[in-house]
């Protein structure tokens, strides 16, 4: 069975890109960086990851067959045992960080296209309701507010994809004209952002529905399954025939990405939904296809698999890690000792609000978060995942293909 180590490299790169997208804009100095617009396409990372997830799951659970390996129950146990512990631990970390922060538990994010993101304070009942939704990965079905842990909306969407996978995957893999199916799914995916743009629906509910609703995002995941079907049937082999064709595919992706990044940063509101949802899908599919055929030298394969397996953990924990880092840096910059700050905590917090964080330590944050995520995945998530599987599965789970163990 193909190990797809190249896809491990890709999902790690997507996780790092999303980490940069969520953190670099917190530094006022970021506006002076050259080509900083290229860091503004967070939607590209999640969309590519959804396509990649469909591709890998189809490979792991179907391969060359048309039967779901292990059955539906085993599939759900394996997927949820990998996803939910990551989400739950990350949620606890965010809440712990919030205890020491200045934003209370009653504040939730509202996102609009024309006015950006701002926070509102909710009453106790509505706050409790939103926390329950976040706890059970249901927050994406209530579109008004953002997630408590912002990246966890993508985990909630993956949760829905897992529920849909046993039904859709065998039907898509048996489809005769998969190229046409990919095109139809792309058109279906574009309907919601096009309609929302034409109707000028730019408020919080519309943003939540168009950008985060799992049903509207489902075509991305299904396209990934269809692309795997094309791959296993050999219909994509022509791309791998020469370096020139691979280079051309990468050029198409790079050009599409650059145009989308410019539109996201400088374009009008009429382009925002479509850039975020759908415009980049052909380029994202090309990226997955190229990396599916990427040959990684054997001496780097184990490392690629290891960091690839940490991708979900990077998605989940990079926000709380960044919040801790930025608070520590601000406190260290006010010129007071830790002991003094412990005795005058409120004064320290007030003083730290005026500190402009320096980007000098930003590379350390990126490297430190990757290292933390790898150990978080291997020392905490993986043992907990294996314990859950051992309790809920009646037989020893079959080891999935390398490079897809933790997707």
Q: What is the pLDDT of residues 42-101, one digit of tens each?
A: 999 999 999 999 999 999 999 988 899 999 999 999 999 999 999 999 999 888 887 766
pLDDT of res. 404: 47
CA atoms within a 13 Å half-sphere pointing along the CA-CB vector of 128: 3
pLDDT of res. 351: 75
Beta-strand ranges (E) seen in 31-136 are 107-112, 116-121
**CA–CA separation, 311 vs 229, rounded Å?**
24
DSSP assignment letter at 35? T
Tell me which of 352 and 100 has the higher pLDDT.
Answer: 352
- Band (pLDDT 50/70/90 cuts) for residue 134 is very high
pLDDT of res. 102: 56
For residue 399, is pLDDT > 60? no
- What's the token pair of residue 67? 């039967």
Going 269 to 116 to 316 to 161, the CA torsion angle's sign is: negative
**CA–CA separation, 155 vs 137, rounded Å?**
7
pLDDT of res. 101: 61
**CA–CA separation, 390 vs 385, rounded Å?**
9
**CA–CA separation, 59 vs 61, rounded Å?**
6
- 120-129 own/partner pairs: CB under 8 Å, 24+ apart: 120/145
Residue with token string 């790690």 = 12
pLDDT of res. 30: 84
pLDDT of res. 402: 45
Q: Is 280 helix (H, G, I), strand (E, B) or coil?
A: coil
- What's the token pair of residue 155? 């985990």
Residue with token string 């996780």 = 15
The rounded percent of the chain whose pLDDT value lies above 70 is 95
Per-range mean pLDDT, top range of 22-26, 28-32, 191-195, 390-394: 191-195
For residue 255, is pLDDT > 50? yes
For residue 400, is pLDDT > 60? no
- Band (pLDDT 50/70/90 cuts) for residue 403 is very low
pLDDT of res. 186: 98
**CA–CA separation, 298 vs 301, rounded Å?**
5
Classify residue 380 by burial, with Cβ atoms within 10 Å: 0-12, 13-18, 19+: middle
In 3D space, the residue among 215, 329, 195, 353 whose CA is nearest the CA of residue 273 turns out to be 195
Listed range (253-257, 333-337, 359-363) with the worst mean pLDDT = 333-337
Q: Helix/strand/coil (H, E, C) string of 352-375? A: HCCCCCCHHHHHHHHHHHHHHHHH
pLDDT of res. 1: 53
Render 133-188 in DSSP notation, one character per residue.
HHHTT-GGGSTTS--SSTTHHHHHHHHHHHHHHHHHHHHHHT-S-HHHHHHHHHHH
Tell me which of 188 and 121 has the higher pLDDT.
Answer: 188
Average pLDDT taken over every residue of the chain = 90
- Range 249-270 average pLDDT: 94
pLDDT of res. 350: 75
Q: Is 108 helix (H, G, I), strand (E, B) or coil?
A: strand
pLDDT of res. 348: 78
Asked if 284 and 129 touch (Cβ cutoff 8 Å), the reply is no
């Amino acid at each position: 069975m193909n190990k797809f180590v190249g896809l491990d490299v890709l999902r790690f790169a997507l996780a790092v890109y999303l980490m940069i997208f969520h953190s670099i804009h917190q530094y006022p100095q970021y506006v002076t960086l050259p080509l900083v617009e290229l860091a503004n396409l967070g939607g590209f990372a999640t969309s590519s990851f959804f396509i990649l997830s469909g591709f890998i799951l189809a490979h792991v659970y179907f391969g060359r067959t048309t039967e779901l390996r292990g059955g539906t129950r085993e599939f759900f146990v394996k997927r949820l045992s990998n996803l939910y512990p990551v989400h739950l631990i990350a949620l606890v970390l965010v809440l712990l960080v919030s205890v020491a922060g200045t934003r209370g538990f009653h504040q939730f994010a509202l996102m609009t296209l024309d006015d950006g993101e701002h926070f509102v304070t909710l009453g106790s009942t509505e706050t409790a309701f939103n926390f329950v939704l976040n706890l059970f990965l249901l927050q994406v079905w209530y579109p008004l507010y953002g997630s408590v842990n912002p990246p966890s909306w993508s985990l909630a969407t993956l949760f829905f994809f897992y529920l849909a996978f046993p039904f859709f995957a065998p039907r898509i893999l048996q489809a005769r004209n998969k190229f046409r199916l990919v095109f139809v799914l792309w058109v279906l995916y574009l309907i919601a952002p096009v309609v929302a743009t034409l109707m000028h629906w730019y408020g919080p509910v519309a943003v939540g529905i168009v950008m985060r609703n799992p049903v509207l995002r489902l075509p991305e995941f299904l396209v990934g399954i269809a692309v795997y079907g094309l791959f296993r049937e050999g219909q994509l082999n022509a791309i791998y025939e020469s370096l020139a064709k691979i280079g051309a595919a990468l050029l198409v992706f790079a050009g599409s990405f650059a145009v989308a990044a410019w539109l996201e940063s400088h374009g009008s509101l009429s382009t925002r939904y479509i850039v975020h949802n759908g415009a980049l899908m052909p380029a994202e599919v090309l990226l997955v296809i190229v990396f599916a055929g990427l040959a990684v030298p054997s001496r780097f394969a184990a490392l690629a698999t290891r960091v690839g397996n940490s991708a979900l953990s990077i998605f989940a924990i990079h926000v709380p890690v960044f919040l801790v880092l930025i608070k520590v840096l601000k406190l260290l910059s006010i010129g007071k000792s830790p002991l003094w700050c412990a005795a005058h905590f409120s004064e320290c917090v007030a003083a730290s609000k005026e500190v402009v964080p320096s980007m000098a330590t930003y590379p350390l944050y990126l490297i430190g978060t990757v290292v933390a995520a790898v150990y978080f995945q291997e020392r905490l998530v993986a043992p907990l995942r294996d314990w859950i599987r051992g309790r809920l599965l009646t037989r020893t789970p079959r080891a999935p293909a390398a490079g897809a163990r933790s997707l």
